[in-house]
Amino acid sequence: MSLYTRSRIPVENTLLNARLQAADRGYDDFVVVDVDAHHYENRAWVDIVPYMEDGPLKQWAESMVKRGGGGGASAALTGVQLGNQEVGGRIIRAGRNFSDPLDTVKDDRHPDVVRMLWAMDQMGIDYTVMFPTPMLTLGLHPQVEVEVALARAYCRWLTRELLPQDDRIKTMIYLPFNDPAETLKMVHEFKDVPGVVGFMVTSVRHRMVHHNDYVPVYAAIQETGKPLAFHAAYNWTEPSMTQLNKFISVHSLGFTTCNMIHMTNWIINGLPERFPGLKVLWIESGLAWIPFLMQRLDNEYMMRTSEAPLLKKLPSDYMRDMYFSSQPMERHKNGRALEVTFEMIDAPNRLMYSSDYPHWDYDVPAVIHDLPFLDDKAKRQILGGNACEAFGLDPTVVRKAPSRG
């Protein structure tokens, strides 16, 4: 009999090694914040749709849920993202393509809350900023009003049903960015809602972040004191990306490209000068793109200063004032590249750890903790301190369970 028939074995705890890392490294001694982790809202449309406002869009959504069930409804509502996240089944994700005891555990709380808290405990994380998954590309929906309706329903469901179940789980409000006026309404509706620590734009869309229509949005968010985040993704149907024939290719380039486009518009049009108190966070493109763009924009700005008249300093100086999430952090064999990157982005004060769990390229906290060129203070700032300051979280360690055993 082929050995491949014995390829898969039962595993009770897929994150046991993360738990052992947390115990060995003493995460009990300081706060660890994960600024970007996900749940699969596509399983919950039957619960979310009732939060839509009455009307034809709700009727449409209800009919899709009735027809398609959980996943099928998601495809019809938010669209389908082409992909091969698990590399042909090689990567195991508990609760996604691998069943573990948590799938059948009896618990009064929502399954997404239960699984998120479990993952946090395994990795030694105190607070997590939770965010959806298929909605990451909802900004591509040609019906602007659909993004608005689903975003509002999702955020109401999330903040009323899930977040009250545990104070360790926070969120940044999904903004229906294709409609600036509705985006502004969302900021006002959710800015003081418990558990809301910021606002999020999913970056895969075709909107210019510097358009004057967004000025009231940025002013309102600045007023709240909470960060505005841009969450990158890939879009394989983007014309330039259709040249790429492998998931590795589109995943490598797609995330970084959409972050770079928005960042370039943000800086060249002087938004940091216009909203100096607005905290901006760039999520999920790793770090290597940042020094690339710093060098590229600085070099061009020196030659073409007149095209960016609002700037009072170099583009890289503005980027250094911004926040970045760490995952998926590139760890090249030449370790000096990462060390220089940390220096260029002022990582001890501006970098925030993110896991992206349970997505396929997640990072455990050890990727930061084990870096040889960081001192203990810098490690703790990146793993939690910077996020506590930016999001206004209590820096006291909360109950988590990284102990051995």
Partner 1 sequence: MKVHVGAAAEFEEGDRRIIDVKGRRIGVFRVDGRFAAYLNICPHQGGPICEGQYFPQVEAVLGADGTLVTERSNPDRPQLVCPWHGWEYDLRTGVMVADEQIRLRTYETVVEDGEVYVVA
- Using CB under 8 A as the binding rule, whether residue 300 contacts partner 1 is answered as no
Whole-angstrom distance, CA of residue 160 vs CA of residue 193 = 9
Q: Of 286, 287, 253, which is closest to residue 356 (Cα–Cα)?
A: 286
Residue 169 CB, shortest distance to partner 1, in Å, is 23
- Using CB under 8 A as the binding rule, whether residue 310 contacts partner 1 is answered as no
Whole-angstrom distance, CA of residue 209 vs CA of residue 232 = 14
Q: In this complex, which beta carbon is closest to partner 1, that of residue 167 or of residue 330?
A: 330
Give the residue, chosen from 17, 63, 237, 299, that forms a contact with partner 1 under the rule CB under 8 A: 17
Give the residue, chosen from 29, 54, 56, 90, that forms a contact with partner 1 under the rule CB under 8 A: 90
Q: In this complex, which beta carbon is closest to partner 1, that of residue 176 or of residue 358?
A: 358
- Using CB under 8 A as the binding rule, whether residue 9 contacts partner 1 is answered as yes
- Using CB under 8 A as the binding rule, whether residue 99 contacts partner 1 is answered as no
- Using CB under 8 A as the binding rule, whether residue 21 contacts partner 1 is answered as yes
Whole-angstrom distance, CA of residue 405 vs CA of residue 353 = 25
Task: Provide the residue type at 328 as one letter.
Answer: P
Q: Are 165 and 108 in contact (CB under 8 A)?
A: no
Helix (H) or strand (E) holding 229: strand 228-231
Residue 132 CB, shortest distance to partner 1, in Å, is 22
- Using CB under 8 A as the binding rule, whether residue 16 contacts partner 1 is answered as yes
Q: Of 195, 197, 173, which is closest to residue 185 (Cα–Cα)?
A: 173
State the pairing for strand pair 228-231/280-283.
Answer: parallel
- Using CB under 8 A as the binding rule, whether residue 405 contacts partner 1 is answered as no
Radius of gyration from C-alpha coordinates of the chain: 21
Give the residue, chosen from 29, 54, 88, 399, that forms a contact with partner 1 under the rule CB under 8 A: 88
DSSP structure string for 55-86: SHHHHHHHHHHHHHHHHHHHHHHH------TT
CA 341 vs. chain centroid, Å, equals 21
Residue 156 CB, shortest distance to partner 1, in Å, is 35
289 contacts: CB under 8 Å, gap ≥ 6: 256, 259, 260
Residue 376 CB, shortest distance to partner 1, in Å, is 20
- Using CB under 8 A as the binding rule, whether residue 2 contacts partner 1 is answered as yes
186 contacts: CB under 8 Å, gap ≥ 6: 151, 152, 155, 173, 175, 176, 199
Part of the chain binding partner 1 (CB under 8 A), chosen from 1-9, 67-75, 155-163, 217-225: 1-9
Whole-angstrom distance, CA of residue 241 vs CA of residue 371 = 33
Whole-angstrom distance, CA of residue 322 vs CA of residue 401 = 32
Which tokens sit at 17? 């090694």
- Using CB under 8 A as the binding rule, whether residue 215 contacts partner 1 is answered as no
Report how far apart, in Å, the C-alpha atoms of 146 and of each of 22, 47, 74, 143, 208 are: 42, 17, 13, 5, 20
Q: In this complex, which beta carbon is closest to partner 1, that of residue 109 or of residue 332?
A: 332
Q: In this complex, which beta carbon is closest to partner 1, that of residue 154 or of residue 255?
A: 255
Give the residue, chosen from 75, 92, 314, 397, that forms a contact with partner 1 under the rule CB under 8 A: 92
Q: In this complex, which beta carbon is closest to partner 1, that of residue 3 or of residue 303?
A: 3
One symbol per residue from 341 to 370: x for binding partner 1 (CB under 8 A), - otherwise; what is it?
-------------------xxxxx-xx---
Part of the chain binding partner 1 (CB under 8 A), chosen from 30-38, 85-93, 102-110, 157-165: 85-93
Q: In this complex, which beta carbon is closest to partner 1, that of residue 7 or of residue 212?
A: 7
Part of the chain binding partner 1 (CB under 8 A), chosen from 80-88, 157-165, 166-174, 279-287: 80-88
Q: In this complex, which beta carbon is closest to partner 1, that of residue 5 or of residue 306?
A: 5
Site of interaction with partner 1 (CB under 8 A): 1-9, 11, 14, 16-18, 21, 86-92, 98, 360-364, 366-367
